[in-house]
Amino acid sequence: MDNMRNFSNNKNNPAPARRNRTLGFLLLSVGLAFFTTILGYLIFRLMISEETDRLFLIYSIGVVCTCLTIFIIGLFLSRENQNILVLFLASIGISFYLVEIVLELSPKTTRAEIARGLGIDFDERTKIEVTEELRSEGYNVSVRMPSLLLSEGLETGRGRIFPIGNISNSLVVYCNEGGEWSLIQSDSRGFISRSASYDQRRVNVILVGDSFAEGACVRYDDTVTGILDTNGWLPISLGRGGHGPLRTYVSLREYALTLKPRYVLWLYFEGSDMSDLYWKEEGNELLNRYLTDPDYTQNLFFRQVEIDRALLEVQQSAVTQAKKMAEKKEDNFLPFNSVWRVIRMMNLSHILLGNLTNKNRHIPNETLITFDLIMRETKTMVDQWNGNFVFVYLPSFYRYSNIFKRWRYPENRRFKEQIQEILRAYGITIIDIAETFGKHHDPLSLFPLRTRGHYTPEGYRLISEEILSSIGTP
C-alpha cells in the first residue's frame, strides 16, 4: 500500500521534472533569439561596411549561422537531450569567456615599454602634442594626411583634385617607432628633397613608393634619399605612406614625366603594396584613368597652391577630430570599455578569425594583371626619356620573425616570384633587399625595437648601399 501511495504521489506531482525539461527548451529559445538578433546586426554592418572590413563580417556571419543551426536542431531534440545540449553549450561559452577575460586583463606591451626593456629612451608625446609644441616655437608645421583619407579626392575652386604629396614648405611630424619622433621638411611640391630641385638640371634620381620611400621614422640623413644625397646624387622622393602601385604610377606620371630623371627607383614593400592595389586602388575610377588614357593628367606639378589650400582645410578638420577623440578617450570609463570588449569577445575573435580574414590572404591572382600593366607602362614611360627603371623589393618584418607569425601574417610573400617574373620579362633591374636582409647576422635588428615597423637607420643604410652598388656614382 505504501508503495502504491508513493507511486500515486509521484504520478500526481511531475512538476519538478517538467520544469527541468522545459528549462532546456526555454534557454535554447532565448539563445536562438539572441543569435538571430546578432545575425541581423552583422548583416546590417555588412551592408554599410568598407570593403576591407567585409571579410571579418562574412566569417562572423558564418559563425553565427552555425550557432543558429545548433540552436534550431536543439529545439527538436527530446527534453532530456535539450538539457544535455544546454549544459554543453554553456560550458563552451563559459570557457570562451574565461579565455577572453584572461586575454583582456593580460598586460599589453607598448613600444615605450619595449624600449625601456632595451635601455632606450622613448619620447611618449603624441603626434598632436609634438605638433603643437613645434608650432609654439614658431615652426610652420603640418600634419601628414593619410593617403586613404584623400582617396576620393578634394574639392577645389577648379574642381576635384587627387593630391599625391603633402603640404609644401612645411615641417611634417611623421612617426616614432624607435624612440624619437621623425620630422620631414617638405619641399616646394610637398615631397622630400634637399639638394635637388624641380628643374631637369637639378634632379637625376626620383624615388617612388610608400612610406619606405619617404624614409619613415628616421632622420633625413638616414633615409635612402638622404644617403643618396650625401653620395653626390640629386634625389627627390615622391614616396608617400599608403601608396600602392597605382598611386605610385600616378606620382610618376604627374611629376617624373616632367623632370625626366636619369634613374627611377621604385621601392616596393611586400607587406602592403599588393593589398593596397587590390583593396584601395583598383576600384578607384580616377586612378584608373591613368591606365586607360595615356594622355590624362591633373597637372598637379603646376597646381601646388590649390593643393596646399585643399590640404590645409582637411588638415584643420582632421586635427580637430583627433583632439576630440583624444579627449573622449581620456574621459571614457576604462573598466566599462574592457567589459564591452569582453562581451563582444574582441580578443578571442581577433585570434580565431584574424588569420582567416587577413586581407593579404584574399588577393586574387588577377591583381597581378593590373600590376603587370603598371610595370609595362612605367617601363615604357621611363624608356621614352632614356631613363633607367630600377625596382627595389623590400621585405616585411614577418619574413624574419618566428614560424607562427610567418604563418599568421603571410603578407604578400606569395607574389614575390610572380612579381620578379614580370619584371624580368620587361627587362627591369631588380634589387632584392629580402636577400640582403636574409644574409644579415641578425635581421630583426634592422627593425625598430626588434618588432614590426619600418626600418632602423642600419636597415635603410643597407638598402642604400645596394642601390649605390647598382647605379654607381653621379
| E strand map for 120-229 | 141-143, 154-156, 159-161, 171-173, 183-185, 192-193, 205-209
Name the nearest CA neighbour of 254 among 149, 162, 167. 162
What percent of the chain lies above the pLDDT cut of 70? 85
d(CA 53, CA 57): 7
d(CA 195, CA 331): 47
d(CA 239, CA 250): 11
Give the up-direction half-sphere exposure of residue 262: CA atoms within 13 A in the CB hemisphere.
Answer: 13
Band of the pLDDT at 310, cuts 50, 70, 90?
A: confident
pLDDT tens-digit profile of 243-252?
A: 999 999 999 9
- The answer to whether the predicted template modeling score (pTM) of the entire model surpasses 0.85 is no
Residue 332 has pLDDT above 60, yes or no: no
Band of the pLDDT at 261, cuts 50, 70, 90?
A: very high
Q: Where are the alpha helices (DSSP H) in 293-362?
A: 304-331, 334-343, 346-354
pLDDT tens-digit profile of 177-218?
A: 999 999 989 999 999 999 888 987 889 999 999 999 999 999
pLDDT score, position 336: 59
What residues are paired with 394 via a beta bridge?
Answer: 269
> Strand pairing of 429-432 and 388-394?
parallel
pLDDT tens-digit profile of 143-183?
A: 777 665 566 778 777 778 888 888 999 999 999 999 999 99
The better pLDDT of the pair 341, 472 is held by 472
CA 229 to chain centroid: 30
C-alpha cell at 115: 624600449
pLDDT score, position 17: 44
Residue 293 has pLDDT above 80, yes or no: yes
Answer for the pair 408, 355: CB distance below 8 angstroms, yes or no. Answer: yes
Q: Report the run of H or E that residue 423 belongs to, with start and end.
A: helix 416-425
Band of the pLDDT at 469, cuts 50, 70, 90?
A: very high
Residue 241: Cβ within 10 Å count? 21
| Cβ burial, residue 281 (10 Å; 0-12/13-18/19+) | buried
Answer for the pair 144, 173: CB distance below 8 angstroms, yes or no. Answer: yes
Band of the pLDDT at 20, cuts 50, 70, 90?
A: very low
| Cβ burial, residue 147 (10 Å; 0-12/13-18/19+) | buried
For residue 318, the SS3 value is helix
| Residues 44-52, mean pLDDT to the nearest whole number | 74
The better pLDDT of the pair 378, 309 is held by 378
What residues are paired with 118 via a beta bridge?
Answer: none
Residue 360 has pLDDT above 90, yes or no: no
What percent of the chain lies above the pLDDT cut of 90? 53
Give the up-direction half-sphere exposure of residue 266: CA atoms within 13 A in the CB hemisphere.
Answer: 28
| Residues 297-301, mean pLDDT to the nearest whole number | 94
Residue 8 has pLDDT above 70, yes or no: no
d(CA 21, CA 43): 34
| Residues 435-444, mean pLDDT to the nearest whole number | 96
pLDDT tens-digit profile of 223-238?
A: 999 999 999 999 999 9
Answer for the pair 27, 74: CB distance below 8 angstroms, yes or no. Answer: no
Angle at 9 between CA 3 and CA 14, to 5 degrees: 130
pLDDT score, position 158: 76
